[in-house]
Chain A
Amino acid sequence: MKTELRFAVAGRARFLSHLECVDVLLAAFRRAGMTVALSEGMRPKPVISLAAARAVGVASEDELATVRVVGDPAPEVVADRLKATLPNGIEIRSSRLSPGTPRVVSARYRVLVDAAPGVLDAGIAAFSAAGCAPVERRSPKGTKLVDVAQYASAIEVVDGGFEVEVAIVQEGTARPEEVARALTALTGAEITVRGITRTALRVGQQVAATDEGPEERDT
């Protein structure tokens, strides 16, 4: 059986990469005296996966890990033992028996920004009306246009910034800072991102959990 853990990443720990987070969790399991099961096959890997890779620098109030622990300890036991061995900035929020492989369909973000009064309201109104909000995404592979409007919804102004729901689909997703850039483009006014926190991951219908077959470590 697998355990599903929900945890938060805050402070300096938000600068850990996705892979580093996986390794931090694995070491915490070992310090807690728990063994993460290994997959079958020629190159066994720990059966642990983190859903929806978090960008480096983004804090999170809702990360989701699925893990199989040798001996099948109860989820609450796993959480309790893990709490004592995690480094500062990573905190277990809840645990339960995994109902199946999680399929994250969207993530909600809180984006703190510096912007003149009224700019965000105007930007959100323009965004709703636009229907298309292209921004450039640069990567080592090159530059491409991403239509943020395809993914972003439910944008609302909050204290110090805005919140946005971003869909995660097979074709891709939008990054919260890209939403801020789209708002900047639509208003022509400067919107500077000061910090991003993922506040929730929404999970769709889950594939039934099985203990058969290997599962690669999600890196």
Chain B
Amino acid sequence: MGTPLLEAKIESVLAEVQRPSRYIGGEVNEVRKPDATVRVALCYPDAYEIGISNQALQILYALINDRSEASAERVYTPFPDMADAMRRDEIPLFTLETWRPVRECDLLGLTLQAELTYSNVLETLDLAGIPLRAVDRVEGDPIVLAGGPSASNPEPLAPFVDAFFMGEAEEGLLAIVDVLSAHAGRAERLEALAALPYLYLPARGRRPVERLVYASFDVATAPRRTVVPYASAIFARASVEVMRGCTRGCRFCHAGTWYRPVRERPVEDVVKAGLEQLGCTGYDELSLTSLATSDYSGIERAISEIKAIRPELHLSLPSNRVDTGPVAMNAAANSRQGSITLAPEAATQRMRDIICKTITDEMITTAIEAAFVAGYTSIKLYFMIGLPSETFAEIQGIVDLAFRAREIGRAHAGANGRFTVHVSASSFVPKPHTPFQWEGMASPEQLKIKQSYLRRAINGRQLRLSLHDVRTSMLEGAIGRGDVVTADVIETAWRAGARFDAWTEHHDEYLWRTAFEQHGRSIVGEATRERDALEPLPWDHVRSGVTKEFLLDEWWASQAERATGDCRWDGCTDCGACEGPVRNRLVAS
């Protein structure tokens, strides 16, 4: 445990901050191993309620703690009130489990789930007392490892990180624990880590690095014991990942490239893991997660077997294909029909062909109708605006579809019936390793005009609209495809006070605008610039498994307004993902 003096100081500041439960640990299924010889701090660089809901860290936490010599403890970025109090009282960042300083750990593992958390990465390092830049670290400082989907373009954080983990960490992270066990010195550890092909150590130059695919996903058992968060968590439910990867090929989707190939978990294991997790957590809801759960070939059997044992259970099936089948499946999975989310992404067939979202107008309207018939009272329709070659027709299409959904709702619930059509329109942000990685974002002026039109047009009874903040979308676009100069921008912005940028109340656009200008750049310039097909990209040395030639072909196909089929059903598209040791593996096959 932490020293009595440190514990007393922590307890003293907890009495004055908001939501002190963010920092106390002690939740059900927490693991404390104060005598472990290898200590890993796993960090989600955002507030507790966001980070504790992350499934990946829960999996890694359990895997490391299963090792006898190792311990995994959790840490989240302290909220500004707590961070200020910690700096005032000279309290170093501590782990939730033992309240020991993070700096005393052997490894600090950061998950990078979103670019808007990058200022929090620096905030976390600073509060921990770890030198920001890897080059300034000395013997005794923990190894700073970063992984997660946003690590696929490591350059914006390269100077601050000792090693980036590329890909799925289940097996590879345990190999890193082995390195930490076998070597004591910082230099020896880094030397040994450099030999692992899925790690990128920026200090050793931009060498090719291969994304690691978790080959045993479909045979290893799904995690059972997860830490049960306190009430504030954004997601508080049991969850079993039924499938990893997606080959639908939506051209804007980073996960659709990054997690190929598709691997399904056997139904027996899904059912067993779900029921055991419910038992040891006390949740009354189970989520069967994946990038597209309705594509999981064992989904109907999994639902019926779980419901046979727990008929009252609320089963959530996120990320569903827009079609009548998945809607009916959702309805069958739950006794109470509240809200269902459908994501057409674009409202016209032309744009859906451009982004490779292979659904038709008829599929969308019949899915909406099926949802109302099944008794859902809230339909959420997700769209993106600012997509490549977008015209007014696409924006008007969103409006038309919203009103069409309301008509369908009224036909089933009556003109004054209790239902809501909730339209959400986010701004398209091009991501590395996708066919749209070369595209420029729409300008902020264009996005604001489109948002303004949607606000005026989607207005009335039973209609709701939510839009994303254009400022943070532009920042995400400017950082996400950034290079090593972006790292200097991030440090400048953080030193000026940037933190918790994903939180509207804490995001300060001026800080970021000034930081970009100080380094001769602009947010808008970086976000909107279309990259040339022959231009070297900052993430070219990261091998995702999907070839650059495939991405280029897909980009050109989008310009020809031509969709590509899904290799699970329409034949191989030669993307390259199955060239490695793992290929698409479906339960049904």
Contacts and interface: CB of A to CB of B under 8 A. Distances in A.
A91 to B, nearest CB: 13
Given A12-B26, A16-B24, 8 more contacts: A12-B25, A23-B230, A26-B282, A28-B28, A29-B282, A30-B282, A30-B283, A31-B28
A112 to B, nearest CB: 12
Interface of A: 11-13, 15-17, 19-20, 22-24, 26-31, 56-57, 85, 87-89
Contact of A28 (B25, B232, B282, B284): B282
B454 interface: no
B66 to A, nearest CB: 21
Contact of B279 (A13, A31, A89): A31
Contacts of B231: 17, 19-20, 22-24
B588 interface: no
A19 B236 CA distance: 15
Contacts of B281: 27, 31
Contacts of A24: 230-231
Contact of A16 (B21, B28, B284): B21
A57 B230 contact: no
A56 B20 contact: yes
Contacts of B283: 27, 30
B3 to A, nearest CB: 16
Interface string B283-295: 1100000000000
Nearest to B22: A15
Given A27-B281, A28-B282, A87 B28 contact: yes
B26 A13 contact: yes
A86 B435 CA distance: 50
A85 B282 contact: yes
Contacts of A11: 26
A16 B282 contact: no
5 contacts: A16-B21, A17-B21, A20-B232, A30-B283, A87-B26
Contact of A15 (B14, B232, B279): B14
Given A87-B26, A87-B28, A27 B14 contact: no
Interface of B: 14-15, 19-21, 23-28, 228, 230-232, 279-284
Contacts of A30: 282-284
Contacts of B20: 15, 56-57
B282 A89 contact: no
B234 to A, nearest CB: 14
A16 B22 CA distance: 9
A160 to B, nearest CB: 15
A31 B21 contact: no
A31 B280 contact: yes
A79 B281 CA distance: 19
Contacts of A27: 28, 228, 281-283
Which of A27, A56, A89 has the most C-beta atoms of chain B within 10 angstroms of its own C-beta?
A27
Nearest to A219: B231
Contacts of A29: 282
Contacts of A19: 231
Interface centre among A19, A28, A88 (most CB of B within 10 A): A88
A192 B24 CA distance: 23
Contact of B26 (A28, A31, A89): A89
A47 B280 CA distance: 23
Nearest to A57: B15
A15 B24 contact: yes
Nearest to B7: A12
A122 to B, nearest CB: 26
Given A29-B282, A30-B284, A85-B282, A12 B228 contact: no
A30 to B, nearest CB: 4
B475 to A, nearest CB: 31
A88 B97 CA distance: 12
Contacts of B232: 20
A79 to B, nearest CB: 17
A88 B283 CA distance: 18
Given A57-B20, A87-B28, A16 B230 contact: yes
A85 B15 CA distance: 27
Contacts of A22: 231
A19 B21 CA distance: 11
B282 A15 contact: no
B505 to A, nearest CB: 15
